[in-house]
Amino acid sequence: ALTTRGWNGYGENEYRAFRYLTEKKRLIVEDLTPEFLGSKSFHLICSPSRCGEMIQQILDRRAAAGFGDSNEKKPIMIWEPVPDLCTPEELANTLKTMKYVDVISPNHEELAALFGENHTAGINRALIEKHAQRLLAEGIGPKTQAPW
């Protein structure tokens, strides 16, 4: 398989389950074929530090391949932080990495965990909005002073 395959199961009362269907494969930028390197978007599931490194490597490879990424043609970078690193200790790294991405997609539990909180009685919309506003206040995306 080119990538790791997984199964997500959902049920009543917010029941969720996950299992790997194939062996876990750590993808690196060098795994991208020329065709995939030209993608319009990239979805990265990794740590904050790895996310920033991979985005820079992808953009460097695209430049070397002649993709000529102007601001209008730059690929959309979607980052899904790994749940284990959605902790208050990683909040500063998460905020720094948000400058590299166009979309950050933690679920409600991961978002709360970044701020040392949790959803004890179901989904707390006010808590989600409070944390989302804190992320937005820091700025998301390359136009918020990413290094390129």
Q: What's residue 1's pLDDT?
A: 55
Give residue 26's pLDDT: 84
pLDDT at 91: 96
- Residue in 27, 31, 33, 61 with CA at minimum distance from that of residue 46: 27
What pLDDT does residue 122 have? 78
Digit-by-digit pLDDT tens for the chain (148 residues) are 577 888 989 988 778 888 889 988 888 899 899 899 999 999 999 999 999 999 999 999 999 998 876 666 789 999 999 999 999 999 999 999 999 999 999 999 999 999 999 887 778 899 999 999 999 998 888 766 544 4
| Domain locations along the chain | 27-144
d(C-alpha 30, C-alpha 143), whole Å: 27
The pTM is what? 0.82
3-state class of 43 per DSSP?
strand
